[in-house]
């Protein structure tokens, strides 16, 4: 969401000027390729976009630093300053004018890169999703160079998946928007409370719309401020107690946001009601009726046969100010929002706390990348960033050789990298630096390095990155074989899904979790909001099967540590407690878990060395 200057009245707080600039540069790169420009120019813009998105300080406040950012050339720096001055880039506008708008939608389909989209546009006139569907239906798509029947089937599957998932926004996109709206409205509300609710508060990986709840005595000004936000493209409703708007962010995300205003004394009951889920609320209302009471968004009231709501006739609420009050009056333990899905959470005995993991419990990051592969930080920079977050351990787990696109390390480079990690330990005190690797799980379940090399690592995260269309039987056998390797300690993002983009592997999670539990291997919740893999249902099944869980941010840049909260939300939705999450353990306990019988030493001379990339 693009934000107006701070001196304008009642403007939303910055959600990410750097991210907005990076989005424009990414789109320029795609538009250049679509229009047949020099691929070097497109690559330069894509590289600059990554550098800007990972830059730790806002360029709006550090204009002079733009030229010093690695990967940002003089011409691109000028475009960035143009954006900071005007809110737009003229080259971006010119490229948009020269490109059918529907092509950008086609480019959003997983598996379709700019070169393929350009080829379809130039050869058979595909300039929109509808045109793409027609070309598939009439078979003309097969006349596009290098377009085979299998590729067309993959495109059809991707179109179907995108249509099913397209209307829901990822958690990591929706939450910053909701937080910014709350931050804007809170000063206007004065002493009243403002918070987000709905499926977003429950931490679902995607959400349909954003629900904002405000408890104020006079909501007229608050409603007007909400409806007048500069990002509002349409006002859908404007009432005393409810306003609905449609917002459009700088990245093109369109989302509906609803504001509901309730009396301060009803805030707890309203939060309960508007957080949901619907099924959880139905169970609560049924319990209230059995206890001789009525529950609605205003409070829990003595049962009354009259048709008018009790609160409209001055009936005093039994409980309403806080959610905890309502649960207590219903003789239930407080249910954390993430568990309110009618999945057995209301069957827990009163007085028995859920004890879910919290973000502050996490003390170690066990999946992180450096400049040795596709990360943005050196080993020492990564370690210092982890230390600044209060972590006692950071695992350096750069990619293995099969991930060539991510700069995966050959066996020779990995040996050199291990020595570089050991050297960094002497230079950074106060945090343990582990020498590890994120090792590709090949299609048959074997790993990308030989065991004699894995034996030299402190930690092995085994992850699937390719062959993600296997049958459930094949995929399950593949992952089980991987966790049975004696050097694997974590199964990284087990399905390989990308939310709203790629379904990933279909697996028998219970079978995989049981195999992992038998080997004392942890299954990972990859906290990156594009992944959240394991997903919540998988976490619950894995815990029931006895497996340990790891929550890792898959760090590539310092800002990736901020994804931790999304992984914790996913873990909480699955019922994860600190005891079952290896990242919460003390340094001593974590080291004991990682310790294993030493594997065979590599035979013969060590491979030749190359300079370590730190």
Convert the pLDDT of each residue in 548-591 to its tens digit.
Answer: 999 999 999 999 999 999 999 999 999 999 999 999 999 999 99
Task: For residue 518, give Cα distances in angstroms to 469, 489, 508.
Answer: 27, 12, 16
**Cα(1)–Cα(177) distance, integer angstroms:** 8
Res. 141: pLDDT tops 70:
yes
Helical packing angle, 39-53 and 17-34, nearest 10°: 170
Instruction: State the average pLDDT over residues 360-380.
Output: 96
342 DSSP assignment = S
Classify the C-alpha dihedral 497-499-502-508 as positive or negative: positive
522-539 tens-digit pLDDT: 999 999 999 999 999 999
**How much is the average pLDDT of 336-350?**
91
Lowest mean pLDDT among 49-58, 228-237, 554-563: 49-58
Measured at the CA of 556, the angle between CA 389 and CA 39, to 5 degrees, comes to: 150
DSSP per position, 356-405: ---GGG--EEEEE--TTTT-SS-HHHHHHHHHHTT-SEEEEEEEBTT-GG
**pLDDT of 55 strictly over 80:** no
Name the least confident of 12-21, 108-117, 153-162, 561-570.
12-21
Rounded percentage of the chain residues whose pLDDT exceeds 90 = 71
Q: How far, in Å, CA of 17 to CA of 80, rounded?
A: 10
Angle of helix 564-573 versus helix 171-189 axis, rounded to 10? 100
Q: What are residue 193's phi and psi, to 5 degrees?
A: -95, 140
Q: What is the pLDDT of residues 174-214, one digit of tens each?
A: 999 999 999 999 999 887 899 999 999 999 999 989 999 99
Mean pLDDT of 63-89: 90
Q: What are the boundaries of each domain within the chain?
A: 17-146, 170-347, 366-594
Burial environment of residue 474 by CB neighbours within 10 A (0 to 12, 13 to 18, 19 or more): middle
Tell me the CATH number of domain 366-594, given options 3.20.20.140, 3.40.50.150, 3.40.50.410, 3.40.50.300.
3.20.20.140
Q: Give the architecture (CATH level 2) of 170-347.
A: 2-Layer Sandwich (3.30)
pLDDT at 4: 25
Residue 520, token pair as written in the block: 């004392």
Between CA 183 and CA 577 the distance in angstroms is 30
Name the token pair of 376: 């943005």
Bond prior to 277 in cis (omega within 30° of 0) = yes
CA angle 192, 195, 196 (to 5 degrees): 155
Between 60-74, 278-292, 416-430, the lowest mean confidence (pLDDT) is in 60-74
Query: What's residue 603's pLDDT?
Result: 38
Report pLDDT digits (tens) over 405-458.
889 999 999 999 999 999 999 999 999 999 999 999 999 999 999 999 999 999
Q: Band of the pLDDT at 15, cuts 50, 70, 90?
A: very low
pLDDT in tens, 481-511: 999 999 999 999 999 999 988 889 999 999 9
Q: Is residue 547's pLDDT more than 50?
A: yes
User: What is residue 59's predicted lDDT score, i.e. its pLDDT?
Assistant: 85
Cα→Cα distances 482→311, 460, 506, 552, Å? 60, 11, 16, 19
Most confidently modeled range among 298-307, 350-359, 599-608? 350-359
In this prediction, residue 52 has a pLDDT band, given cuts at 50, 70 and 90, of: confident
| Average confidence (pLDDT) over 297-325 | 82
φ/ψ of residue 168, rounded to 5: -105, 140
Q: What pLDDT is stored for residue 61 in this prediction? A: 74
Give the pLDDT confidence score for residue 293 in this predicted structure. 95
Q: Are 458 and 487 spatial neighbours (Cβ–Cβ below 8 Å)?
A: no
User: What confidence tier does 611 reach under pLDDT thresholds 50, 70, 90?
Assistant: very low
User: Which DSSP letter does residue 142 get?
Assistant: G
Least confidently predicted of 52-61, 387-396, 429-438, 531-540: 52-61
Give the sign of the dihedral formed by CA 300, CA 305, CA 306, CA 307.
positive
pLDDT value at residue 156: 87
According to CATH, the topology of domain 17-146 is DNA polymerase; domain 1 (1.10.150)
Mean pLDDT on 49-78 = 83
Mean pLDDT of the chain: 89
User: What pLDDT does 401 receive?
Assistant: 96
pTM for this entry? 0.79
Quote the pLDDT of residue 7: 27
Q: Which string of b and e fits 259-268 if b means at least 16 CB within 10 Å?
A: bbbbbeebbb
């Amino acid at each position: 969401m693009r934000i107006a200057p701070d001196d304008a009245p009642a403007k939303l707080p910055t959600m990410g000027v750097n991210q907005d600039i990076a989005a424009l540069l990414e789109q320029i790169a795609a538009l250049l390729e679509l229009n047949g420009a020099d691929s070097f120019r497109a690559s330069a813009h894509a590289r600059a976009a990554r550098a800007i998105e990972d830059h730790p300080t806002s360029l709006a406040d550090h204009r002079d630093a733009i030229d010093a950012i690695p990967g940002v050339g003089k011409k691109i720096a000028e475009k960035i300053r143009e954006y900071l001055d005007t809110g737009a880039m003229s080259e971006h506008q010119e490229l948009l004018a020269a490109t059918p708008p529907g092509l950008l939608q086609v480019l959003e389909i997983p598996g379709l890169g700019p070169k393929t989209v350009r080829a379809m546009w130039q050869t058979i006139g595909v300039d929109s999703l509808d045109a793409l569907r027609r070309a598939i239906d009439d078979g003309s798509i097969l006349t596009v160079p290098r377009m085979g029947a299998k590729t067309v089937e993959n495109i059809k599957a991707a179109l179907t998946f995108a249509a099913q998932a397209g209307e829901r926004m990822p958690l990591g996109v929706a939450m910053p928007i909701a937080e910014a709206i709350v931050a804007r409205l809170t000063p206007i509300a004065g002493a009243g409370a403002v918070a987000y609710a709905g499926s977003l508060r429950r931490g679902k990986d995607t959400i349909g719309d954003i629900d904002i709840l405000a408890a104020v005595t006079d909501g007229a000004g608050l409603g007007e401020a909400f409806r007048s936000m500069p990002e509002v493209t349409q006002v859908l409703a404007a009432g005393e107690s409810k306003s609905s708007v449609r917002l459009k962010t700088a990245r093109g995300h369109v989302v509906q946001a609803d504001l509901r205003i309730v009396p301060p004394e009803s805030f707890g009951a309203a939060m309960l009601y508007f957080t949901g889920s619907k099924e959880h609320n139905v169970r609560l209302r049924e319990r209230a009726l059995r206890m001789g009471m009525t529950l609605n968004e205003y409070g829990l009231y003595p049962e009354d046969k009259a048709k008018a709501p009790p609160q409209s006739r001055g009936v005093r609420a039994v409980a309403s100010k806080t959610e905890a009050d309502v649960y207590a009056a219903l003789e239930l333990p407080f249910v954390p929002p993430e568990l309110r899905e009618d999945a057995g959470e209301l069957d827990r005995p009163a007085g028995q706390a859920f004890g879910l993991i919290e973000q502050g419990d996490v003390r170690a990051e066990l999946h992180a990348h450096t400049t040795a592969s596709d990360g943005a930080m050196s080993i020492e920079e990564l370690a210092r960033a982890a230390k600044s977050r209060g972590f006692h351990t950071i695992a350096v787990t750069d990619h293995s050789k099969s991930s060539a696109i991510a700069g995966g390390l050959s066996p020779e480079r990995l040996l050199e990298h291990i020595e570089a990690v050991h050297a960094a330990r002497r230079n950074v005190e106060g945090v343990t630096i582990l020498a590890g690797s994120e090792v590709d799980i090949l299609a048959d379940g074997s790993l990308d390095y030989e065991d004699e090399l894995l034996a030299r690592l402190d930690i092995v995260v085994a992850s699937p990155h390719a062959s993600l269309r296997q049958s459930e039987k094949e995929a399950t056998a593949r992952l089980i074989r991987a966790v049975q390797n004696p050097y694997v300690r974590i199964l990284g993002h087990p399905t390989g899904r990308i939310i709203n983009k790629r379904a990933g592997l279909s697996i028998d999670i219970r079978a995989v979790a049981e195999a992992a539990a038998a080997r004392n291997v942890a299954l990972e919740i990859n906290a990156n909001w594009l992944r959240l893999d394991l997903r919540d249902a998988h976490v619950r099944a894995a815990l029931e099967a006895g497996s340990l869980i790891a929550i890792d941010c898959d760090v590539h840049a310092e800002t990736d540590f901020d994804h931790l909260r999304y992984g914790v939300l996913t873990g909480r939705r699955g019922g994860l407690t600190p005891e079952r999450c290896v990242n919460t353990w003390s340094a001593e306990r974590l080291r004991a878990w990682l310790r294993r019988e030493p594997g065979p030493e590599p035979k013969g001379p060590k491979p030749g060395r190359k300079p370590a990339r730190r």
